[in-house]
Amino acid sequence: MELKSLLEQTNKLPTIPKVAQQLIASFSDEDVSIDDISRQLSADPALSAKLLRLANSAYFHLSRTIGTVDDALRMLGFVMVRNLVLGNSMTAAFRNTKGMDLQQFWRYNLYTACASRWLAGRDGVNADLVFTVGLMHGIGQLHMHAAIPEAMAPIDKKLNVLDPGRAELEQQTLGFHYGDVSGALAKIWNFPEPILLALQSVPLPLAATEFSEPAGWVHMGAWLARTEVLKTAGDESLASYPTEVAKRLRLKPDWAPVHGGDASCPLEDGMPPLKELTDGLEAMIS
Three-class SS state of 286: coil
CB 144 within 8 A of CB 3: no
Helical (H) or strand (E) element with 111: helix 102-123
Q: From first to last of the 286 residues of the chain, give the pLDDT tens digit.
A: 689 888 887 778 888 888 888 888 888 776 778 888 899 899 989 889 999 999 999 999 888 899 999 999 999 999 999 999 999 999 988 988 988 999 999 999 999 999 999 999 988 888 999 999 999 999 999 999 999 999 999 999 999 999 999 999 999 999 999 999 999 999 999 999 999 999 999 999 999 999 999 999 999 999 999 999 999 877 888 888 999 999 999 998 778 765 544 444 444 467 888 999 999 998 888 7
Which has the closest alpha carbon to 133: 62, 53, 204, 222?
A: 222
Q: Which long-range contacts (CB under 8 A, 24 or more apart) does 194-200 make?
A: 194/129, 195/27, 195/129, 195/132, 195/133, 195/136, 198/129, 198/133, 199/133, 199/136, 199/137, 199/140
- Per-residue exposure over 226-261, b if at least 16 CB sit within 10 Å of its own CB, e if not: bbbbeebeeeebbeebbeebbeebebeeebbbbbee
Which has the closest alpha carbon to 111: 257, 242, 268, 267?
A: 257
What's the whole-model pTM score? 0.91
Q: Which amino acid is at 106?
A: W
